[in-house]
Amino acid sequence: MSTTKTIVVTGMGATTPIGGTARESWDALLAGASGARPIDKDWVADLELPVTFAAQAAVDPAEVLARPEAKRLDPASQHGLIAAREAWLDAGFALPEEGVEPSVDPDRLGVDFSTGIGGLWTLLDAWDTLRERGPRRVLPMTIPMLMPNAAASAISMSLVARAYARTVVSACASSTEAIVNAYEHLQHGLAHGALSVLFFHPRRKCCLIEESEGIIQLFDELGGGRGPELPGHDRVELVDQFLVTKICRRYA
């Protein structure tokens, strides 16, 4: 008889119009902050746009990512990678380093990414370059940067996730579908952990979702025994009555 695994969220990350991290975004949300502001770009006047404000990301990815890394990624992938790394650290893991054993078995970690369109800025820039300067001036990295699954690729390489790296594109339903996909992938044993990255311009969010048996393996060195204290809950109880510390956080 099949049993349903307990799936929990172990880490969260976000870069949004009201904050560069999940914590900053949540605090700003509780304070009633608005992310809408005037667009301070030259092309707003050049194109004579009827709308001159938008909910732009609060933190420029260039302030977070190394320049060589940022140059090879569309803004959509940049924000996705930033949120994924925050979720990874929030879950209690260290970022992978060359020559250091990964925190998680790479063959048991997957990425479920979602986007409404993908690397739109790269596509528009390539079209302008093609039209104004000719095909030989279009960047060789244009295709790898604009494809919708570019972010999933960047995240999987950065966090050494080799179980799978998948992307769904289904308009405003993309985020919900990515979460469901991560849940189902864990239920069916494709991985012990899944990074579910949700992107629909201008919001980028990420959470690290793990099935409980994998968490028990990964977090037993943290000195389990008591589950984390959450408002309205005494403990978080997992499969087989295991209680593990530092598993599930939320910002309420």
Which pair of structure tokens corresponds to residue 43? 């092309």
Cite the beta strand spans of 16-119 per DSSP E. 37-38, 53-54, 109-114
Residues 6+ apart with CB under 8 A from 94: 103
Give the pLDDT band of residue 244 (cuts 50, 70, 90): very low
Cβ(183)–Cβ(158) below 8 Å: no
Secondary structure of residue 199 in the 3-state scheme: strand
Residues 6+ apart with CB under 8 A from 106: 160, 161, 162, 163
Average of per-residue pLDDT across 16-42: 91
**Residue of 78 and 179 predicted with greater confidence:** 78
What is the distance between the alpha carbons of residues 147 and 128, in angstroms, rounded to a whole number? 18
Average of per-residue pLDDT across 68-97: 92
| pLDDT in the model for residue 198 | 54
| pLDDT in the model for residue 195 | 67
Cβ(90)–Cβ(9) below 8 Å: no
Share of residues in the chain with pLDDT > 70 (%): 75
For 7-213, CATH gives 3.40.47.10
Share of residues in the chain with pLDDT > 90 (%): 41
Which pair of structure tokens corresponds to residue 80? 């996705």
What is the distance between the alpha carbons of residues 175 and 158, in angstroms, rounded to a whole number? 21
Mean residue pLDDT across the chain: 78
Range among 77-81, 201-205, 213-217 with highest mean pLDDT value: 77-81
**Residue of 199 and 182 predicted with greater confidence:** 182
What is the distance between the alpha carbons of residues 240 and 201, in angstroms, rounded to a whole number? 41
Give the pLDDT band of residue 207 (cuts 50, 70, 90): low
Cα angle 128-131-132, degrees, rounded to a multiple of 5: 80
Q: Is the per-residue pLDDT at 238 higher than 70? A: no
Please report where in the chains the tokens 């044993």 appear, as a residue. Answer: 189
Secondary structure of residue 122 in the 3-state scheme: helix
Q: Is the per-residue pLDDT at 220 higher than 50? A: no
What is the distance between the alpha carbons of residues 12 and 141, in angstroms, rounded to a whole number? 30
